Amino acid sequence: MIHWLSQPASALPPHAETLLSPAEAATYAALKAPKRRSDWLLGRITAKQLVAEYLGSTGSAPSLNAIVIAADPDGAPYASMHGARLPLSLSISHSHDTALCALVDAAGKTVGCDIEYIEARDAAFLSDFFTPAEQVAALAWPEPHTATTLLWSAKEAVLKALREGLRIDTKQVQITLPNALDDEWATLGIALDPALAQRFPGAWSAWARRSGDFVQTMALCAAADAP
Ligand SMILES: CC(C)(COP(=O)(O)OP(=O)(O)OC[C@H]1O[C@@H](n2cnc3c(N)ncnc32)[C@H](O)[C@@H]1OP(=O)(O)O)[C@@H](O)C(=O)NCCC(=O)NCCS
């Protein structure tokens, strides 16, 4: 089961930086650009709150300071407590002062999530990043800006679940749009091109919803040898 949490920066507790562990506080202190600092803090606190909520649902919720969100060398985040990594797959995204975080606790499953502000993209963006079928589908959708934002977001969610991000060509991931989008999670179609599917064998599920001016997406990959 995927657990998720989304919130705007305005929902953070006052002095949210006091909820950081010493290691996180050191990372935060090293960030200089104000936007990067605020995005990073919003993502970190939201991830901590999500992990605390999840742990609370399975036992007792720890304090936020005790949960440490760190990043592997490839950039993918993970959660730990008392020096031990938690057996979770965790994903973080932020856009226009709003964060979305998702986690899954099943062995062999990885999650990626993404939040994007809905805005127009030009023709070059579509041809650079989308397959021909996606371009046609987006332009035929009732709200093309929402469709292109959704396609981009879903690709990022998949590429985060693979822990690769934009090191992979976005055209290697084919997204099928839902018929409509509202605040309920709608199922998306996902197909990796044969070369990518061979490199990362697994079964995919993905969802999208609209929340105000944002599109949110989540992608889940169950590795071929997952139980
Ligand atoms: C992962 C990536 C697609 C995120 O892009 P984005 O839309 O700018 O940012 P989002 O807010 O949606 O997501 C950012 C979060 O993705 C996570 N992330 C970063 N690298 C990741 C990876 N390889 N796998 C999974 N998640 C990753 C981080 O938690 C990051 O937030 P944080 O740094 O505040 O903790 C992008 O950073 C990327 O492609 N990274 C890997 C390749 C790379 O480093 N390229 C250099 C720039 S092209």
Question: CATH code at 71?
Answer: 3.90.470.20
Structure letter (DSSP) for residue 107? T
pTM for the model stands at 0.96
Q: Say yes or no: 117 and 33 in one domain.
A: no
Is there a single domain that holds both residue 76 and residue 119?
no
Residue 160 alpha carbon to ligand 1 centre in Å: 7
The verdict on 128 and 30 lying in the same domain is: no
Supply the DSSP symbol for 62: P
One domain, residues 9 and 43: yes
For atom 33 of ligand 1, the residue with the nearest CA is 40
Ligand 1 centroid to residue 152 C-alpha, Å: 14
227 CA from centroid of ligand 1 (Å): 28
Exposed/middle/buried for residue 218 (C-beta within 10 Å: 0-12, 13-18, 19+) = buried
- For a substitution probing ligand 1, which of 40, 72, 104, 166 has the most ligand atoms within 8 Å of its CB? 166
Does one domain contain both 101 and 132? no
> Do 67 and 130 sit in the same domain of this protein?
no
Of 33-47, 59-73, 91-105, 200-214, the poorest mean pLDDT is in: 59-73
Q: pLDDT by residue (tens digit) across 1-28?
A: 999 999 999 999 999 999 999 999 999 9
- In a shared domain, residues 8 and 67: yes
CA of 165 from ligand 1 middle (Å) equals 6
Residue with tokens 């920066």: 9
Report the percentage of the chain scoring pLDDT > 70: 99
**Domain-terminating residue out of 57, 88, 105:** 105
Closest to 2 measured CA to CA, from 69, 79, 54: 54
Instruction: Please list every protein residue whose CB sits less than 6 Å from any atom of ligand 1.
Output: 39-40, 43, 71, 74-77, 92-94, 114, 156, 159-160, 163-167
Both 101 and 117 in one domain: the answer is: no
Q: Which residues pair with 114 in a beta bridge?
A: 217
Structural domain including 149 reads: 113-223
Question: Which of 105, 136, 156 is the endpoint of a domain?
Answer: 105
Please state the domain count of the chain. 2
Average pLDDT over residues 26-55: 97
Instruction: Kindly give, in sequence order, each residue whose CB lies less than 8 Å from that of residue 122, ignoring residues fewer than 6 positions away.
Output: none
Last residue of a domain, one of 45, 74, 105: 105
Same domain, 101 and 17: yes
Cα separation, 121 vs 144, whole angstroms: 9
Q: Where are the beta strands (DSSP E) in the chain?
A: 2-8, 67-71, 77-81, 84-85, 89-95, 98-104, 109-117, 173-176, 186-192, 202-211, 214-223
Place of tokens 């899954």: 104
Output the CA angle 161-162-166, nearest 5 degrees.
100
| Segment 98-139, tens digit of pLDDT | 999 999 998 899 999 999 999 999 999 999 999 999 999 999
The verdict on 120 and 209 lying in the same domain is yes
Q: Find the 92 Cα to ligand 1 centroid distance in Å.
A: 8
Token pair of 139 as six digits: 């332009």
> Would the pLDDT of 227 be above 60?
no
Question: Which residue's CA lies nearest to atom 3 of ligand 1?
Answer: 165
Looking at the structure, do residues 46 and 124 belong to the same domain, yes or no? no
